[in-house]
Chains A and B, each alone.
Chain A
Amino acid sequence: MLTIALSKGRLAEKAIMLLENAGYDCTAAKDESRKLILEDEKAGLRFIMAKPADVPTYVEYGAADLGFVGKDTLLEEGRDLYEVADLGFGKCRMCVAGPVDLKDGKLDLIPNKRIATKYPNITRAYFEGVKKESVEIIKLNGSIELAPLIGLADCIVDIVESGRTLKENGLDVIETVADISARVVVNRVSMKMKSSEIKPMVEKIKEQVALL
């Protein structure tokens, strides 16, 4: 029996489609009820529905053997996991964004910037680790674009897909921090103790991804 951690939403739908195409019976996972654990004993699969940010935690502790999760969550949570496949979908970028007049190196001229973000760990690692500068990070939980508009922060670090929300608010991408896409993660112990189940599954998932 393999336990798979998913987070409700588009990522889960795509992950389930991928698994079905790979030959796994995921009828259980398509249950529209509000159950959090969906088990199919015959297929040998158990799905747990978690918050996206919690998927790496379930997998790290071994409560789930594997999980489907965005690279943004993995970077932010910094959990000790095996990251075995890039699913190629859910593609976007983690970016530093701000008012258009901060482009072309002007952002670097602001000392002790204030940065608003949902991703404080990624932000800290990028500015302190890569850019070697001190910053003040303001953690917000949504509508991050508001912060530079209202003067709460100089710029933001956030996920950018099309960039439309930014444009409509007079903001633009200034720098790219990382490329993001959906990943398959595996618990380190499960990889050993259940390798006869997990390895073929990962291989089949990779085959399906190559077909996309």
Chain B
Amino acid sequence: MIDAKFYTADGFTDTLPGICAFKKKTEKELEKLYRLHGYRQIETPGIEYLDIYSRPGFVPEQNLYKMTDQKGRLLALRYDGTIPAARYAAGIKDFDPASLPLRLCYIENMFRFADSGGGKQNEFTQAGVELMGADGADADAEVIALAIKSALSAGIKDLQISVGQVRLYDGIAKQLGLNDSDKDAIRNAISSRDTVTIEKTCDQLGLNADQKELLLMLPDAQGTYDIIDAFRAKVTEKEALDALDNLKDILDALDEQGFLKYVSVDSGLLGGSVDYYTGVIFKGYTYEVGFPIISGGRYDNTVAVFGRQMGCVGFSLSLTLTLTALLRQGVSMDETPCDVVIGFKPGFRGKAYEEAQKLREEGLAVILDTTGKSKDELNEYAVNQGIVRALYVEGE
């Protein structure tokens, strides 16, 4: 006989009062922010056919929450915002190319088997935007700027955005004539900043000192324009040069908005478990949480998987991680139960209703005592509960 479970399932947790209010307030501010930038909010289903996520390069199948419908078809809980948005964009029936780009935003809960060890949340809230049917650095910069504004609007003060370009490495790999398996091995080493493996692989491949130096710059280089110039002096492949131009244009556009102080170029950022990124890629970091709070990039081939070619760029901000960071950074999310508590002498209930309604119309949170407290008891209760004002109705 299994005991009834009075606890939450592994990887899931309650959002407590106070934190919940802070979260909802933040969500409202983000919705407003996106609307002010011309993004339209959508809600995609909580459950999709497994098929849309399990395409090669999308989501590792073991990370999806799976179930079946009555006909035995495989379904998955919502894993991210981008892939459902891509499915939606590819399937729009009265599609008008002249209406592009499409600006979509969402705030939804995502479900992931993230970590076999437990501890990471398997359900968390993401806010994000997708700018679809737009190529070029202006589009990239618009989305990065919006990511920065999102974090700032949520209350994050110490923010670091790292920007990379996956085509820079692609171009360099081409320039050095790496085959696919060597390219992948070095990509993984760059992603984990493992210079030892990069050096070893270079030696095995018989690359010369210059070539080795170029590959070793990738995991290490951090800065802004200086990094772009350093690479420009060494790369010859057009794809890599285009990637550098793209990065420079993005930095220029962010600089014009005063956001350059948050941004650094990180040439070692090459995507990870999801590898649908095809151009710019970026992550956002703050203190007190060990994982990036923002993740985004350009994905030009994803919508095409569902049947319509569209260059896209987007990001998502983990609200759950952001709130964790803010709490650890000392932001208070305490909330008093209400602003005013009203009690009444027997016979004055109607008057008490009237008073409560008046105060609520002024925007105050009012509770009416339902336990028959005396005036003294009501005052004591208010003090104990941290309610600023107690009102006892005992006459007209």
- Which residues of A are interface residues toward B (Cβ below 8 A)? 57, 59-63, 80-86, 186-193, 195
Do residues B193 and A193 form an inter-chain contact, with CB atoms below 8 A?
no
- Chain A residues positioned under 8 Å from B158 (CB to CB): 193
B contact residues, range:
20 to 34
Do residues A193 and B160 form an inter-chain contact, with CB atoms below 8 A?
yes
Do residues A188 and B287 form an inter-chain contact, with CB atoms below 8 A?
no
Do residues B160 and A84 form an inter-chain contact, with CB atoms below 8 A?
no
- Give bound CA distance, A188 to B292, whole Å: 8
Q: Contact check: which of B194, B195, B290 meets A61 at CB < 8 Å?
A: B290
**In this assembly, does B150 line the interface, its C-beta being within 8 Å of a C-beta of chain A?**
no
Do residues B292 and A193 form an inter-chain contact, with CB atoms below 8 A?
no
Contacts A57-B117, A192-B160, A192-B162 given: A84-B195 contact, CB under 8 Å?
yes
Q: Contact check: which of B162, B266, B272, B290 meets A187 at CB < 8 Å?
A: B290
12 other contacts beyond A83-B193, A192-B266, with CB at 8 A cut-off? A59-B290, A61-B291, A62-B290, A63-B290, A82-B192, A83-B196, A85-B195, A85-B196, A188-B290, A190-B290, A192-B160, A193-B158
Residue of B nearest to A195 (CB): B222
Contacts A57-B117, A61-B290, A188-B290 given: A193-B196 contact, CB under 8 Å?
no
Q: Contact check: which of B117, B193, B264, B272 meets A84 at CB < 8 Å?
A: B193
- Give bound CA distance, A193 to B160, whole Å: 7
- Chain A residues positioned under 8 Å from B222 (CB to CB): 195
Residue of A nearest to B197 (CB): A83
- Give bound CA distance, A61 to B289, whole Å: 7
- Give bound CA distance, A82 to B220, whole Å: 11
Sample (20) of A-B pairs whose CB atoms are under 8 Å apart: A61-B290, A62-B288, A62-B289, A62-B291, A80-B272, A82-B192, A84-B193, A84-B195, A85-B196, A186-B193, A188-B285, A188-B290, A188-B291, A188-B292, A189-B286, A189-B290, A189-B291, A191-B193, A192-B266, A193-B160
Do residues A81 and B117 form an inter-chain contact, with CB atoms below 8 A?
no
Do residues A189 and B194 form an inter-chain contact, with CB atoms below 8 A?
no
Residue of A nearest to B196 (CB): A86
State the main secondary structure of chain A at its contact with B. Answer: mixed
- Give bound CA distance, A63 to B324, whole Å: 13
Do residues B289 and A81 form an inter-chain contact, with CB atoms below 8 A?
no
**In this assembly, does B119 line the interface, its C-beta being within 8 Å of a C-beta of chain A?**
yes
- Give bound CA distance, A60 to B324, whole Å: 16
- Chain B residues positioned under 8 Å from A57 (CB to CB): 117
- Give bound CA distance, A189 to B196, whole Å: 21
Residue of A nearest to B193 (CB): A82
- Give bound CA distance, A82 to B119, whole Å: 20
- Chain A residues positioned under 8 Å from B194 (CB to CB): 82-84
Q: Contact check: which of A61, A81, A192 meets B192 at CB < 8 Å?
A: A81
- Give bound CA distance, A187 to B286, whole Å: 13
Closest A-B pairs by Cβ, 8 of them? A62-B290, A82-B193, A86-B196, A83-B194, A61-B290, A192-B285, A189-B285, A192-B160
- Give bound CA distance, A176 to B117, whole Å: 28
- Give bound CA distance, A195 to B268, whole Å: 15
Which of A60, A83, A187, A188 has the most B CB atoms < 10 Å from its CB? A188
